[in-house]
Amino acid sequence: MEMNKVVVAGAGGFIGGHLVSALSKKKNHLIRAVDIKPLNEWYQVFPDTENLVLDLREKENCYQAVKGFNEVYNLAADMGGMGFIETHKAACMISVLINTHLLMAAKDMGVDRYFYSSSACVYNGEKQTDPDNPGLKESDAYPALAEDGYGWEKLFSERMCRHFREDYGLTTRVARFHNVYGPFGTYEGGREKAPAAICRKVIEAQLSGKHEIVIWGDGLQTRSFMYIDDCIKGIFDIMTSRIEEPINLGSSEMVSINALTDIVENIAGIKLQRKYDLDAPKGVRGRNSDNALIKEYLNWEPSISLREGMKQTYNWIYSRMTAKQA
């Protein structure tokens, strides 16, 4: 079989690392992993992969990254959880250079397929004011009122993918990720998302003996969370599909932040006193994924329950934190 030559941009990050791991298990795949971080800061590194440290905001680096390869997965972005994106809007917007230059390089270097990782942050904020969110349909991105900074960058980059497909014939695929979580991700430092942050806070309470937890907001805000293994399968299914429009990739198992905390406390076998920081970044009131379209196209839906996925995530973070403490 002909060798499939794949570039993963953002390979040193959480989702990118898992994607490289899955690709490395496939036959006839040559992988080039690219990230801006020094190699010793990548979450996962694989010796049989060509690993490049490049700033993909620079146009010439994008050409170097894709040269001689036929598929590109773009997961590279300056981003994090709500605590990061609400306070780093300009930094998030600058990521538009990554997708712009990668698309230009992909077009000029004859890339066959291009995947772009978008986000549920593209959705109109006025449709996310109720904690009982019925689920965001793909059409709910317009009229546009995206998350300021990060969401607007993602929405603009979706349009870039569309127009490179229409004008230049580059096959592009776009998935809107809904809160991906799991092991080998950020759990401290300010860029972590809610599942990892709550696991860390519960473990801190366990290890310190101080049985309390601070929750951002009132805990009633709702989200859906997708385990990383389901995300990776969805990426592959979308990349090889004929779906040209942006499509949701997420779980429709909506949960409040209070309920998510209940799950982690149950896994840990502990009950904590809760303190609510109403001034902390908390994002929209309610967000959930409507999976009707991806079920229709691909018969895809997550296979891993929130509790099962959180247990795996908790165990990994616990092992890291106790090893660091030792």
Residue 219 lies in a domain: yes
Q: Do 102 and 175 reside in the same domain of the chain?
A: yes
| Helix/strand/coil for 2 | coil
Q: What are phi and psi of 20, to 5 degrees?
A: -60, -40
Q: Do 106 and 219 reside in the same domain of the chain?
A: no
Residue 297 lies in a domain: no
Q: Do 98 and 208 reside in the same domain of the chain?
A: no
**What averages of pLDDT result for each successive group of 10 residues across the chain (326 residues)?**
91 98 95 98 95 98 98 96 91 97 98 98 97 96 96 98 98 97 94 96 96 96 98 98 98 97 98 96 94 97 96 98 90
Tens digit of each residue's pLDDT (9 = 90 or more) over 149-177: 999 999 999 999 999 999 999 999 999 99
Residue whose structure tokens are 């860390």 = 200
Q: Do 187 and 244 reside in the same domain of the chain?
A: no
Q: Do 164 and 308 reside in the same domain of the chain?
A: no
Q: How far is CA 123 from the centre of its chain?
A: 15
Q: Do 122 and 192 reside in the same domain of the chain?
A: no
The confidence score (pLDDT) of residue 1 equals 62
Question: Angle at Cα 138 formed by Cα 86 and Cα 115, nearest 5°?
Answer: 75
- The pTM of the full predicted model, rounded to 2 decimals, is 0.96
C-alpha torsion 310→316→318→320, nearest 10 = -150
Q: Do 236 and 219 reside in the same domain of the chain?
A: no
177 neighbors 121 (Cβ within 8 angstroms): no
Closest CA to 280 of 147, 88, 123, 87: 87
Q: Do 187 and 160 reside in the same domain of the chain?
A: no
Residue 143 lies in a domain: yes
Q: Please list the residues that pair with 153 across neighbouring strands.
A: none
Number of domains into which the chain is organized? 2
> Rounded distance, CA 76 to CA 10, Å?
4
Q: Do 263 and 154 reside in the same domain of the chain?
A: no
Q: Do 157 and 16 reside in the same domain of the chain?
A: yes
Residue 294 lies in a domain: no
Give residues with Cβ within 8 angstroms of 127, minimum separation 6: 133, 136, 140
Alpha helices in the chain (DSSP H): 14-24, 59-66, 82-85, 89-94, 96-108, 150-168, 194-208, 228-239, 257-268, 292-298, 306-325
Q: Do 204 and 268 reside in the same domain of the chain?
A: yes
Is the dihedral angle over the CA atoms 42, 214, 316, 85 positive or is it negative?
negative
Residue 43 lies in a domain: yes
The confidence score (pLDDT) of residue 82 equals 85
Residue 237 lies in a domain: yes
Q: Do 132 and 204 reside in the same domain of the chain?
A: no
Residue whose structure tokens are 């896994």 = 267
Active-site pick, 150, 181, 227, 314: 150
Residue 120 neighbours by CB distance under 10 Å: 26
Q: Domain with 97 in it: what CATH number? A: 3.40.50.720
Query: Is 150 among the residues known to form the active site?
Result: yes
> Rounded distance, CA 185 to CA 190, Å?
12
Joined tokens for residue 32: 């080039």
Residue by residue, DSSP assigns 70-132 as: SEEEE---S--SHHHHTT-HHHHHHTHHHHHHHHHHHHHTT-SEEEEEEEGGGS-GGGS-SSS
Residue 296 lies in a domain: no
> Rounded distance, CA 155 to CA 164, Å?
15
Q: Domain with 216 in it: what CATH number? A: 3.90.25.10
Residue 298 lies in a domain: no
Range of the domain at 195: 183-223+254-289+303-325
